[in-house]
Structure 1
Amino acid sequence: MEPTEADSGPPRGMGAPATRPLAAAGYTELSQLADVSEEELKALHGVGPKALRVLREALRERGLSLS
């Protein structure tokens, strides 16, 4: 699936401390996080409760979710 403009990059409200480890792990598009476990994301240094909340909300808006 081609990323849309709304899918490219981190969601609004996501800070650089969470964005960098996501990109380093290969997650550069929001849709790539669909069905990734919260535990896997929490294991990334810099991805905390706020980042997870922002990701859950952004995915929910697109009909997707974390596992």
Structure 2
Amino acid sequence: MKDYHINIFYSDEDGGYIADIPDLKFCSAFGDTPSEALTEVLKAKAAWLKAARAAKKPIPKPSFRPAIYQVA
């Protein structure tokens, strides 16, 4: 089974790491470390999916893929 792509990046403005799931609109979390941000976004994902199911809203299939850069 495919799972949702997660972005994790440092935010100078917030002073910590942000993790988001592009396929799940507004699903993001904050952490002091990348690991903490990942843990928190996984909790947010579970809550997002639970709320969508409860409201009988459509749940998007995973579609985003990480970009792979090649250095020549």
TM norm structure 1: 0.32
CA radius of gyration, larger in: 2
Q: Give the helix-richer structure, 1 or 2.
A: 1
Bigger relative contact order, structure 1 or 2 (CA pairs below 8 A, ≥6 apart): 1
Q: Give the strand-richer structure, 1 or 2.
A: 2
